[in-house]
Amino acid sequence: MILAECAEWLAVDKPAGIPTIADRQGNPGLVEALSRDRGERLWVVHRLDREVGGVLLIARTAAAHRALNGAFEQRLARKT
């Protein structure tokens, strides 16, 4: 499920049918499950809808989260 990782981020292959973050019923999403399994706090950089599968970028540090969010906001990161 983890495609690549470094000290700042994880790239994960999110399967369709699993939410990125917890849903309104309290069911954990992929990020919460990974955080629990890995024993580290993780930050969502962007989301994919529950029905959509694909590569999800997750920050491992607050600084990486800020930098990656900035890259998406400034359209420096591309999604295909």
Query: How many residues can be counted in the chain?
Result: 80
| Domains of the chain, earliest start first | 2-73 (3.30.70.580)
**Residue-wise burial string across 40-66, b where 16 or more C-beta atoms lie within 10 A, e elsewhere:** eebbbbeebebeeeeebbbbbeeebbe
Instruction: Indicate if 37 belongs to the active site.
Output: no
Residue 78 CB partners (closer than 8 Å, separation 6+): none
pLDDT at 23 over 90: no
What tens digit of pLDDT does each residue of 30-49 get?
999 999 999 999 999 999 99
Q: How many helices (H) and strands (E) does the chain have?
A: 2, 4
Euclidean distance between CA atoms 42 and 61, whole angstroms: 7
**The model's pTM:** 0.87
For all residues of the chain together, what is the average pLDDT? Answer: 93
